[in-house]
Structure 1
Amino acid sequence: MTTDHDAGALDVACHLNVLLADAFSDLVPAALSAVVAAGYRRVVLPPLDPDATDTAHLRDVLAAHDVSPITIAGQAPGADVSSADPQERAAGAAMLRAALDLTVALRGDQMNGVPYGLFGRPAGVTDPAAIERAAVEVGRVADEAADRGVMMTFEVLNRYETSVVNTAAQAMEFVALSGSENLRIHLDTFHMAVEEADLAGAITMAAPKLGHLELGQSGRGMLSTGAVDLEALVRHAFDIGWSGRFGVEAFSRSVLSPFASDMLAIWRSPYLDGVGLAQDAMRVIRRGFASSVEGRRAARLSRVGG
């Protein structure tokens, strides 16, 4: 990846759930227009059922706004790549491949998610054999994804949402277990704030395999307010030479469906204006870039060129 950036060409994705509850709302075109106007190039879609998605329509709406989609892959009871049961493991791998097919059909080039086991099982997978089974299956799909032009990542979650991968160090171990040269890590600062003693150090550790750095504030609200200095972390990412994709994520009960709110333990509404949050987040990212070595260099070059 190149490290030649300017503030207008930053590769940033906004999670659609920042603005809307689902990808089938009549308000999707307006939401996409708003995030594009704010400077985003991609949108992270909420989990979709491939069999229930009007793929052609969604693809056309995204294309009309020149927005690239990032999909989310996951597992379900009876379909779990960490299982010792070969049939259940095969069903889990099939779910991942169905999500990959959907990604390709939507003309996306990135698939995020929690592909290594069931979401929301704090006591879940701690058996090293189960973790290795999951890693191998996920690695196989990641290689298939790469062959089809898609980067597959796996999200590192906090201890209350998974017991498989909670830290950058564990994520690097998971990649090694997978045997894949193509599997990439998805770090999320919201989860990192729970698990990592040194957030900047965790980014540095994961950087060789880091595909997606998602920015989420401690209270799930505005990125410019909260316990995490996101501007400093953006600056750090650029200063260590990382040049992957950033993401913005925030959740509010006033926006999400009751089901999604309950699943994610979003009991409050830390914000009411999703468009305002997306704009605020882009300002944080641009300030972080501008204060980095690369950002200052780009500013100097711009002045000389002007």
Structure 2
Amino acid sequence: MTSARQPLQLGLHALVWVGDWTPRSAEHAISSTAALGFDLIEVPLLDPSTVDGAMTRRLLDEHGLGAACSLGLDPSADVSSEDPAVVARGRDLLGQAVDAAAEMGATDLCGVLYSVLAKYPAPLTDRSRAHVVESMAWLADRAAGSGLRVNLEVVNRYETNVVNTTADMLTLIGDTGADLGVHLDTYHMHIEENGMTEAVHQAVDAGRLRYVHVGESHRGYLGTGNVDFDTFCATLREVEYAGPVVFESFSSAVVHPTLSNQLAVWRNLWDDSEDLAKHAMAFLAERLR
């Protein structure tokens, strides 16, 4: 349980609005998110070297919006690789992400920071796991000076072979010896966890629950799929979770070529970004505020 009650932050993933992060796209995503009353926007660092952090920070300040950043690795920069050269490239990419997130004034760096977002053909090897542990300890140290919180997302078996449950993530974080948070996502919890309550309590009891994604089982409108949001939100209230709760949804209406393919976004679950986001805000506010 949190030691001091802080206001829970409702957030929105930028890919609800845009598929890139040009100045025009950033302005649209940030202004639209703020206009609907969200507290923060999650900016995906699809290529950290191309993200204009200073421009993003000006827009965030202009619209009074907070920010978090997320990142996924590609096969040439996979810190769970057995190849030290690939791991080194992965750390370089993670370092670029820290710099971009810090420059825009983000509070959190989250996501699958420890492997490629993909179905691996075999179980994780001991050597690969050792590279993950070393790299996540390195990342925590690299981010510490920037004031960024680093949170590792627990995702399903089809998107990583490193960890798929909260319990396993807590073991991994413990092995790093670093101050890393757990990032839970209802979409993945619905597939892998024993219900929507146990994982929350595991992360909270360990003092590690620091970031939450809320997504439906089909990635569309909240409440139209199979995720038990009433139980999940009631559990967050019970443990007095105080941190970001970010709505994440994907449709072929908004496409980033690389990430959309990685996430298998093959169908059009929604067409109207504003209606989707407005619905999510009302849905979450009713259950969490």
- TM surpasses 0.5: yes
**Over aligned residues, Cα RMSD in angstroms?**
2.0
Pair 1:209–1:4, CA change in 2 (3 A): closer
Give the conservation status (yes or no) of the 8 Å contact 1:185–1:209: yes
The one-character-per-residue Cα deviations of 1:104-162 (angstroms, maximum 9, x if unpaired) are 11111211122212221332551133213202211221133133200011111111111
Instruction: Tell me the percent identity.
Output: 31
**Residue number in structure 2 paired with 1:42:** 40
Where does 1:22-101 land on structure 2 (aligned, <5 Å)?
22-24=20-22, 26-101=24-99
Give the conservation status (yes or no) of the 8 Å contact 1:143–1:183: no
Whole-Å Cα distance in 1 between the matches of residues 89 and 25 of structure 2? Answer: 34
**Residue number in structure 2 paired with 1:248:** 247
Pair 1:20–1:268, CA change in 2 (3 A): same
**Residue number in structure 2 paired with 1:237:** 236
Whole-Å Cα distance in 2 between the matches of residues 146 and 213 of structure 1? Answer: 21
89-98 vs 102-111, which moves further: 89-98
Unaligned runs of 5+ in 2: none
**Residue number in structure 2 paired with 1:217:** 216
**Residue number in structure 2 paired with 1:264:** 263
Give the conservation status (yes or no) of the 8 Å contact 2:5–2:240: no
Amino acid in structure 2 at the alignment position of 1:205: Q
Amino acid in structure 2 at the alignment position of 1:263: Q
279-288 vs 98-107, which moves further: 279-288
Amino acid in structure 1 at the alignment position of 2:140: A
CA drift at 1:3: 5.4
Equivalent of 2:106 in 105, 108, 111? 108
Pair 1:84–1:258, CA change in 2 (3 A): closer
Give the conservation status (yes or no) of the 8 Å contact 1:74–1:95: no
Whole-Å Cα distance in 2 between the matches of residues 274 and 86 of structure 1? Answer: 42
Amino acid in structure 1 at the alignment position of 2:55: H
CA drift at 1:15: 0.2
Give the conservation status (yes or no) of the 8 Å contact 2:233–2:287: yes
Whole-Å Cα distance in 2 between the matches of residues 50 and 236 of structure 1? Answer: 35
TM-score by length of 1: 0.86
**Residue number in structure 2 paired with 1:11:** 9
Find the residue that maps to 1:160 and give its secondary structure.
coil
CA drift at 1:167: 0.8
Whole-Å Cα distance in 2 between the matches of residues 268 and 276 of structure 1? Answer: 18
CA drift at 1:190: 0.5
Amino acid in structure 2 at the alignment position of 1:217: E
**Residue number in structure 1 paired with 2:225:** 226
Where does 1:161-180 land on structure 2 (aligned, <5 Å)?
161-180=159-178
Amino acid in structure 1 at the alignment position of 2:266: W
Pair 1:119–1:178, CA change in 2 (3 A): same
Whole-Å Cα distance in 2 between the matches of residues 121 and 91 of structure 1? Answer: 21
**Residue number in structure 1 paired with 2:274:** 275
Find the residue that maps to 2:212 and give its secondary structure.
strand
Find the residue that maps to 2:143 and give its secondary structure.
helix
CA drift at 1:259: 4.1
TM-score by length of 2: 0.91
Give the conservation status (yes or no) of the 8 Å contact 1:124–1:164: no
Amino acid in structure 1 at the alignment position of 2:135: E
CA drift at 1:176: 0.7
CA drift at 1:2: 6.0
Amino acid in structure 1 at the alignment position of 2:98: L
Pair 1:83–1:244, CA change in 2 (3 A): same
**Number of positions where the alignment pairs a residue of Structure 1 with one of Structure 2:** 286
The one-character-per-residue Cα deviations of 1:8-36 (angstroms, maximum 9, x if unpaired) are x5312210101222221624323322322
